[in-house]
Structure 1
């Protein structure tokens, strides 16, 4: 068992900073949140979302009356797109400054909430811009309060200290990790997710699978991050097919959302390594590539390469997907093929070559993975040393199906 391999002298952090309201009907807790903002004297806010999600989910039907009832004035930025950019953060920040926003509400999945986190920092550091923030030319210690209204079951950003944005001019997609951007409040209501499109249902759930695969196997992993990983994969393997077949099944949405949330807590504690560090260059170069799909393309190859270093952990947490593993190094090909088969059965059959990547692109991707700000930290936590050769091999193994 992997327990015997845990370094008991590794002092780790147990993190949980966000008050998250979870369950069907949780959106109604926005009334309590708005009341709390009023009591704190925060009567001007900026809402950060995209053109569709705040309406189609029904979230705004509850949020707007709550804000009005508490005399809270707002301005709304709806320009967030998948794989958000520093330009979008700057645009939203400008609107927030004009109204004198004292808090930020993000409505949506990872893109709007991550954008909201960037805005929350820049409303405090008014002489800085988003490029400076994501190039890490300064280290923020404060931000306006963030309220995360989550509408997908994948990112975990509603309960963690991470945010991501792209700097398109440099083809960078760095990540932030600051305590000041933990959302003060979060709402996880499965009823907001029944309208989630088929592909987003798949891709966001695979994002959660990757979060825990990495969090359970980093050099910072702990029994806590591994425990959460085990339950995350069990729940997703059970309920994702049901949600794909019956999108309005609230039980399936509930458990996928719960899996996503505990996956967010898992990697908030255990951190990440290869899959996210190698995916960020993919969607930085091709912003139209969904983050979760990029992760799915890489996952089998990443597991193949790290399995010999952490076979007990991966055999344990992947038991629901690839049963019967003994947790010995020689099973690397078996688990990688099993994960790929599971993804294919879900209809996620794309590999890097299907998205236009070729072997000629790999040197550039390797360079971006090793030079983009913040990704070096992720790679330093991998259970197998992240040399350029290993990174190249993972990209090459991800170009086409393994079998």
Structure 2
């Protein structure tokens, strides 16, 4: 019952909310708009809508459109140089988690000297203090997956060393975020599922983390409940605006969990996988790990697993006591089947079983801090065991 609470982001939430951005006071006079290289922001008209709003407010803009699904350090540095050269005084992240995360990291480096990895803790990062505040960040999310619109975290890969590591501080909270589920109607079925499970695992990991608080618990259980109830509908009918809105809310709640608790080692393991195999979508990697991961931890904090099972709609009171913790894992597997993502295999992305020990080592070296937030301290051997059990 001893905790701090700090989520300074103003959030505009609900269908149609992008239009209301025109009524907001934005934090500068020239924006760097960060979008992905995929072209969906242009094709779907979202970029044009944002640009029109900026024009209506006499705000200039520059576009940086190189962001990859697993964003990389060189693009952070390139975007920061562009922001400096063009005298941008705030950054807009438009798109999914990769674009918003990149916007956060670019905002840091636009105001600070040296290399981005100078400020990263873990792996080959130097862990140096960040001298200056970041440029103000506005987040406009078009996916429901990372919760990055409601937390300070950004995850970037140093491509030369295959290190995928999180970073964040007080200044990487967006000052303003727009969560408009109408912008999520165009997300394809498989990505809807991957992103929804990413949000679910942010909530679940934050709930079992050893720094969870009563506040993060409330957000986490509600997020789990909404995803279990509405994600299958989103996957089956992407135009179902009510289901999209509920999953968007779950995602933002999971961002609050990340701001008030933390991920655990499941994310460290996945980051190692997608750092070496960047074609692996983050949510898909988490799904692959999840059954073995949560099976392992179900006996470590059984009461927490009972509560998560209950949030997923399981009537745990009808079950024998010894079956209650694993009922969460069974509900998780059922949800994956309902969303057509149960049979994902690491081998589909080129990962070899004999690589797992070195990938487990990488997880512990690059993001070892999350292992310290587990409710039970995993050994290297147990980390390998979980990843091996996830392989087939």
Greater Cα shift, 42-51 or 151-160: 42-51
Is the Cα–Cα contact under 8 Å of residues 298 and 394 in structure 1 kept in the other structure?
yes
The 5-angstrom pairing of residues 130-145 of structure 1 reads: 130-134=116-120, 135-140=125-130, 142-145=133-136
Q: Does 1:17 align with 2:2?
A: no
Say if 1:316 and 1:73 are closer, same or farther in 2 by CA, change over 3 A: same
Is the Cα–Cα contact under 8 Å of residues 288 and 345 in structure 2 kept in the other structure?
yes
Is the Cα–Cα contact under 8 Å of residues 322 and 335 in structure 1 kept in the other structure?
no
The 5-angstrom pairing of residues 226-375 of structure 1 reads: 226-319=217-310, 321=312, 323-325=314-316, 335-348=328-341, 349-372=343-366, 375=367
Is the Cα–Cα contact under 8 Å of residues 105 and 146 in structure 1 kept in the other structure?
yes
Q: CA deviation at 1:83?
A: 0.5
CA deviations over 1:291-343 (Å, ceiling 9, x no partner): 00001111111111111121111121223547244595665655434422431
Q: 2:185 is matched with which residue?
A: 194
Name the CA distance, whole Å, in 1 between partners of 2:110 and 2:176. 18
Say if 1:147 and 1:364 are closer, same or farther in 2 by CA, change over 3 A: same
Is the Cα–Cα contact under 8 Å of residues 274 and 302 in structure 1 kept in the other structure?
no
Greater Cα shift, 352-361 or 88-97: 352-361
Name the CA distance, whole Å, in 2 between partners of 1:312 and 1:159. 28
Is the Cα–Cα contact under 8 Å of residues 190 and 253 in structure 1 kept in the other structure?
yes
Q: CA deviation at 1:90?
A: 1.1
- Which runs of 5 or more residues in structure 1 are unaligned? 1-7
Q: 1:74 is matched with which residue?
A: 61
Say if 1:322 and 1:309 are closer, same or farther in 2 by CA, change over 3 A: farther
Q: 1:179 is matched with which residue?
A: 170
Q: CA deviation at 1:270?
A: 1.2
Q: 1:108 is matched with which residue?
A: 95
Matched residue SS, 2:164? coil
Is the Cα–Cα contact under 8 Å of residues 308 and 328 in structure 1 kept in the other structure?
no
Matched residue SS, 1:318? helix
Q: CA deviation at 1:346?
A: 1.6
Taking structure 2 as the reference length, the TM-score comes to: 0.93
Q: CA deviation at 1:146?
A: 0.2
Name the CA distance, whole Å, in 1 between partners of 2:307 and 2:44. 36
Q: CA deviation at 1:350?
A: 0.6
Q: Does 1:388 align with 2:359?
A: no
Is the Cα–Cα contact under 8 Å of residues 314 and 327 in structure 2 kept in the other structure?
no
Matched residue SS, 2:163? coil
Taking structure 1 as the reference length, the TM-score comes to: 0.90
Q: CA deviation at 1:220?
A: 0.2
Matched residue SS, 1:78? strand
Say if 1:288 and 1:370 are closer, same or farther in 2 by CA, change over 3 A: same
Q: CA deviation at 1:356?
A: 3.0
Q: Does 1:46 align with 2:32?
A: yes
RMSD over equivalenced CA pairs, Å: 1.8
Matched residue SS, 1:247? coil
